[in-house]
Structure 1
Amino acid sequence: MVSAESASNLIESLRGLVRQTRAKAARSAHIGMLPPPLGALLTHVACSQGHRPSAVAEDLRVTQSALSRQIAHAESLGYVVRTPDPLDGRASLLSLSEAGAEALRVHREVQLEWFLSVMTEWTDEEVDALTASVGRLRDAVADEPRSVASSR
């Protein structure tokens, strides 16, 4: 079993990685990387074409009002399209436009180039081992049926 100290160290390392990656994305938006909220929105819409904004907000763990502002921004850029929900005319469904798909493609290409540049000292075996470990952690989180509050 993992100690609380080891788990805490891992959490702090992951937080630091996310902070540094977001900071890099914010500084690099002019060269193709999307700002983190926009990148997250487009990535999620690409993976869940045809979802209602309320479902996207829940999945991204943001308020519906915050997501509405992000969607409005993405629409103004021509990246996201709303279409009426055929099951409920009052609701809309989100999908990427061609421009949104292209912006996301460029964003991912720039991310890959950046990761390759920061991982020049790594071997494929090291990256594969890290990928497997992160995947195992992701799967464990996904499989955990209890909430933190219910386990106390």
Structure 2
Amino acid sequence: MSRQLPDDFHVDYELARLVRHVRARSLAHLSRIHERLDYNTFVVFIAVCDAPEGVRASDLAESLRVHKSTISRAVTAMEQMELVHRVADPEDGRAQLLTPRPEAREQLERFRRESHDWLVTLMKDWTPTELSGFARQLGRLNDAMEDHPF
């Protein structure tokens, strides 16, 4: 159900609706990764999984733009759930990198495949031109957001 808004608010409104839908779907299925996983920890877990060589907690805080204490709580929770572990940073033996446990990475990949399948179902009647245009525009918006952080 879409509300009538002035044109200059339409994009913002639709993006907010999209984020709400994606977040709600994620929340409904997080238990497939771990029964105690909450959404905020899930976001941090994704960032760990997306760092191929591992990532420092301080770098997570900076990239996710959250306080170090938020990352600390998420890391503690992920370690307790056995989703991540710490390894020595090969570039700085005093530092530690967070890496996902192989089974946890597999669970996230399964979650992502299921999410992809859900999106494919939602967009089954979109033409290839519509899909590629939508992807291109989303990429353009994401690039602009990275270049102009709030």
- Measured against the shorter chain, the TM-score band is 0.7 to 0.9
Equivalent residue, structure 1, for 2:48: 45
Distance in 1 (CA, whole Å) between partners of 2:137 and 2:45 is 26
Matched residue SS, 1:101: helix
Unpaired stretches in structure 1, ≥5 consecutive residues? none
Identity, in percent, stands at: 29
TM-score normalised per structure 2: 0.78
**Contact 1:82–1:92 (CA under 8 A) maintained in structure 2:** yes
Name the aligned partner's letter for residue 119 of structure 1: M
- CA RMSD in angstroms comes to 2.4
Tell me the distance in 2 between the aligned counterparts of 1:69 and 1:142: 26
What's the secondary structure of 1:92's corresponding residue?
A: strand
Query: Please, which of 86, 102, 113 is the counterpart of residue 98 of structure 1?
Result: 102
Question: Any idea what SS the aligned residue of 2:126 has?
Answer: coil
Matches of 1:100 and 1:60 in 2, distance apart? Answer: 21
Alignment size in residue pairs: 141
1:125 is matched with: 129
Report the residue type matching 1:44 in the other structure: A
2:84 is aligned with what amino acid? Answer: V
Equivalent-residue separation in structure 2 for 1:13 and 1:31 (angstroms): 28
SS of 2:46 mapped into structure 1: helix
Taking structure 1 as the reference length, what is the TM-score of the superposition? Answer: 0.78
Aligned to 2:39: 36
Match of 1:23 in 2: 24
**Higher relative contact order structure (alpha carbons within 8 Å, sequence separation ≥ 6):** 1
Contact 2:47–2:60 at 8 Å: present in 1 too?
yes
Q: What residue ranges of structure 2 are gaps of 5+ in the alignment?
A: 1-5
In structure 2, give the amino acid aligned to 1:45: V
TM-superposed deviation, 1:92: 2.0
Cα separation, partners in 2 of 1:114 and 1:36, compared to 1, 3 Å:
farther
Which amino acid letter does the alignment assign opposite residue 40 of structure 2?
P
Whether the 8 Å CA contact 1:78–1:99 is kept in 2: the answer is: no
C-alpha displacement at 1:120, in angstroms? Answer: 2.6
Aligned to 1:84: 88
Question: In 1, Cα distance between the equivalents of 2:132 and 2:140?
Answer: 12
Distance, in Å, in 1 between the alignment partners of 2:32 and 2:65 is: 28
- 1:46-70, CA deviations, whole angstroms, 9 ceiling, x for partnerless residues? 2223221011011112222122221
Call closer, same or farther: CA 1:110–1:35 in 2, change over 3 Å.
Answer: farther
* Cα distance in 1 between the residues matched to 2:81 and 2:19: 26
Say which of 137, 142, 145 aligns to 1:138.
142
Residue 14 of structure 2 aligns with which residue?
13
Q: Tell me the residue number matched to 1:113.
A: 117
